[in-house]
Structure 1
C-alpha cells in the first residue's frame, strides 16, 4: 500500500476529501485562467517564450560556473536578461497579473493536495522506544565547535549537574575521540554522548553501536544536520540534555565508509575536491568559483565509477551517498530526512559535462545526468589509489575502492520526549490519488 493510501485510511475521510477537492478545483482554475485571459494561441506563445527564457537562464548559469573572466561576466548578464525581457513582455501584453495569479493558484493547489495526502505522524515519524535508566553517562564536548556553544550555553556544568562525566577536547583536531569513548565504556559508561560537530558525533556513535549503549546527541556543532533529522533543538543545545531527565529512544541506521562510521552523508567528486582546498574554510564562495571551471568544464573528467547495487554509473562529476534518502519533493524538505531507520542508503549522482545535459536536468530526461536511487551498498572506484571524500563535513582521503554500507537499527539514540524540530514529511503529490480521494474515496483507500 502506498504512503498516500495509508494516509487515506488513517486520517478523517471527510476533511481529506475536501482538501483533495480544493486541490483539484484550484488546479483547474490555474489552467483555465490563462486560457480565458489570453486565449489558446496567445497562451501557447506565452508558454514557449517562458520555456525559452528558462532554457537560456539555465545555460547561462552553467557557463557562469564553468567559465572565468569576461565570459563569466557575460554569462551572469545573460542569466538575468531573460527575466527582464519576460517581465517587460508580460507587462506590454497585460498578462503579468495572469501569470502571478495562476502561479498562486497552482501553489495553493499543491499545498491543498499535500495536505490531503499527508500521512499521519505515526506513519511518517520514527517509532519511539522506552529509554532505560542510565547511571554512568559519559559525554565528549568540543569547546571550539559551533563557535563556542559549549561555553556559551554552559553545557559542561549543566551536564555535570545531571551526573554526566564530561571530557573537554583540547589540542589538535585529530584527537582520537573513538578511543576516549572506548575507554569510557571500559570504565563502565552506559551512555555515550557528544556536544560537537557531525564528524565527531559519527565516530562516537560507532563506538556506542559496537558497545550496545545509547547515544546522546547535543546540538553544539555548526550545522547540526544529524540533530535536525532527530528533531532536536538546534537553537539551545542545552535542551538536548532533557533526554537524561525524560527521554525516549530511536533505533536508527548507521552507515560505514571503508569501515569508518557516518551518520549523515559521504560526498565524492566536485564537493569533495573543493573542501580539500586549504582556502575553502576562509573563503568558501571564492574558492568554489575558482575551482569549478576545472572541475566542471568541457573535457573535465572525474575518473569516478559508482556501482549502486547492481547498476553502474561511469564518470559522474558528483556523488552523494546518504544515511537514508533526503527529501526532494519540496524546497522546504531539501537537506533533511524524516526517517533514518528504514535500512536504505540514498544515492544521487550528477554529471553535466556540457550545456545540453545541464538543460536536460530541467526535465530529468538524461539518465546519466541525474541518477537517484536507494540501495544497501555503494562502491566508488577510480584509477587513483586514493580519492578525496567529504564524510559528515570532514575532508578525508580514502583508499579505492571506497565501499559504503548501512546497518539497519544499529544505533540507539537517546532523545528528549519533546523535540521542537520534529517534522512530518510532505508526501509525493499524486494527482490520480487525489482524484480518487476527491470523488471515489473507496478506491483511494
Structure 2
C-alpha cells in the first residue's frame, strides 16, 4: 500500500482538532454548576447587548447614538467583570485556548489534505514585451509612484510611461486605446483598482497582456494576484522575466470591473462629495438615513434564477471571496473560476443586528451566493453604484456578468503573496478525516 503522508498528517490534525474541541466543551460543561451556567448565559447576553448598541450607534443620531456607543463599550467590560468576579476567568481562558487549538488543527488538516485544483489557472512563460506602455497615477496610494521610483525603473526596463497629471481629469481608457494604436504590445497601470479596470478592459479588447503595479491604496486586485503590495517596484520584474495568467473580468452595465460592484449603503456613501476627504465621518453621518431612515433604496436582485429581496447592501465580486464577513471579505482563492460572488445584507433592527453578531454567516440577515449573472433592481429609475470604489449612478435594472479568462495578466515569477488561501472551515470534513470514513475512496485515487 502506498503511504499518503499529506493525508496521514491531515487525519492526525483532524483528530487533534476534535479532541481539543471536545475538551473545550467538557471544560464548559464542568463549569455549569454553582452558577456557572448563569455566568455563561450572561456572557452571551453581553455579546447581544454589544451588537444592539452598535446598531443604535450606526442607525440613529443624538441620545440614542450616545446610548448605543455606551452599550457597545460597557457590555464587553461588564462581561469581563462578570467572569472574573464569578471565578470563571480560568475556565473561560482555558476554553478559549482549547478552541483556538481546535481551529488551528482543523485548518491545518484541511490544508494538508488539499489536492491540486483540477482546473488551475493557466500559467505560461512570456517573452519580454518590445513596446510596453505603462500608465501611472502619481497621486495614487499617497505618492507611491514617486516614493518607489517607478517611472525611472520602468523606463530603464524599456517601458514608455504615461504620467497622469494630478487635478486634471483624464480619460484613461482613451489614453490606453491611443497607446495600442501607436504599437503598444503591453498595457500596464500603476494606480488604484478603478484605473486598473479601465485599462484592463482595453487590454482584453485587443488581447494584449496587462501588467498590474500595486501603487494604489488597497490594491485588492494585486493582492489576489499574489503581487508584492509593500514594494510595487517588484511588479516591474515581469517586464524582463514574467509569466502569463488568464483571469476573469466582471462587467456591470457595459463597464469592466476587476474586484467588486457595491450597491446600497456603501455605494450611497461613496457618492457624497465629502467622502474622499473624510471617509469615516461621512459614513457615520450618512448611516442613520441609509439604515433606519428610509433614505436608501431597498434592493432586489435576481441571482441567476434565485430572487433576493429587500437588501440594504449588495456586493457583487469578480469571483467569490473567501469570507462571508461583510466587514472583511478576505481574499479570492482564484480569479479564473468563471463565477460572480454575491453578498447581501438585510438588517431591519437591533434584534437582527444581534442575531448577525451571534450567528455570523448562519444569520438570515446575510445572503451568500455565487452566479454567472446578477440583475439588481430598486424602486428608483437609477441607483448609486460603486465600481471598484469609483462612484457612479446607473439606470435600473443593473446587470452584472462575468467574462471567463478574458484578461491576460503578466506577473513576475516571484510573487510573495501567491500562497494559497485557506479552505473554508468544514467540520463535517474534519469528522470524516478523523474517523477515516473515506479511506477506501482515497485508496482508489480519489
Aligned equivalents of 1:272 and 1:173: distance in 2? 24
* Residues 430 and 313 of structure 1: CA distance in aligned 2, closer, same or farther (over 3 Å): closer
RMSD between superposed Cα atoms in Å: 2.3
Aligned residues: 435
Q: What does residue 398 of structure 1 align with?
A: 394
Q: What does residue 442 of structure 1 align with?
A: 439
Task: Kindly state the Cα deviation for residue 85 of structure 1 after the two structures are TM-superposed.
Answer: 2.0
Which of 337, 349, 356 aligns to 2:332? It is 337
1:362-386 CA-to-partner distances (Å, cap 9, x unmatched) read 335653x211110011111223332
Which of 59, 63, 66 aligns to 1:70? It is 63
1:50 and 2:47 aligned: no
Equivalent residues in 2 for 1:107-122 (5 A)? Answer: 107-118=100-111, 120=114, 122=116
Q: What does residue 379 of structure 1 align with?
A: 375
1:137 and 2:132 aligned: yes
Aligned equivalents of 1:333 and 1:278: distance in 2? 25
Gap regions ≥5 residues in structure 2: none
What SS does the corresponding residue of 2:95 show, helix, strand or coil? helix
What SS does the corresponding residue of 1:346 show, helix, strand or coil? strand
Which of 383, 395, 409 aligns to 1:413? It is 409
What SS does the corresponding residue of 1:202 show, helix, strand or coil? helix
Q: What does residue 25 of structure 1 align with?
A: 19
TM-score by length of 2: 0.92
* Residues 175 and 331 of structure 1: CA distance in aligned 2, closer, same or farther (over 3 Å): closer
Task: Kindly state the Cα deviation for residue 353 of structure 1 after the two structures are TM-superposed.
Answer: 2.1
Aligned equivalents of 1:31 and 1:143: distance in 2? 55
Which of 57, 79, 83 aligns to 2:76? It is 83
1:190 and 2:193 aligned: no
Equivalent residues in 2 for 1:169-318 (5 A)? Answer: 169-170=164-165, 172=167, 174-297=169-292, 299=294, 302-318=297-313
Aligned equivalents of 1:436 and 1:352: distance in 2? 36
Tell me, yes or no, if the aligned pair for 1:338 and 1:423 is still in contact at 8 Å.
no
1:319 and 2:314 aligned: yes
Task: Kindly state the Cα deviation for residue 67 of structure 1 after the two structures are TM-superposed.
Answer: 1.3
Tell me, yes or no, if the aligned pair for 1:329 and 1:426 is still in contact at 8 Å.
no
What SS does the corresponding residue of 1:12 show, helix, strand or coil? helix
Q: What does residue 59 of structure 1 align with?
A: 52
Task: Kindly state the Cα deviation for residue 116 of structure 1 after the two structures are TM-superposed.
Answer: 0.6
Aligned equivalents of 1:419 and 1:331: distance in 2? 27
Task: Kindly state the Cα deviation for residue 329 of structure 1 after the two structures are TM-superposed.
Answer: 6.6
Equivalent residues in 2 for 1:137-176 (5 A)? Answer: 137-170=132-165, 172=167, 174-176=169-171
* Residues 11 and 390 of structure 1: CA distance in aligned 2, closer, same or farther (over 3 Å): farther
Aligned equivalents of 1:298 and 1:101: distance in 2? 44
Q: What does residue 35 of structure 1 align with?
A: 29
What SS does the corresponding residue of 1:245 show, helix, strand or coil? helix
Tell me, yes or no, if the aligned pair for 1:295 and 1:301 is still in contact at 8 Å.
yes
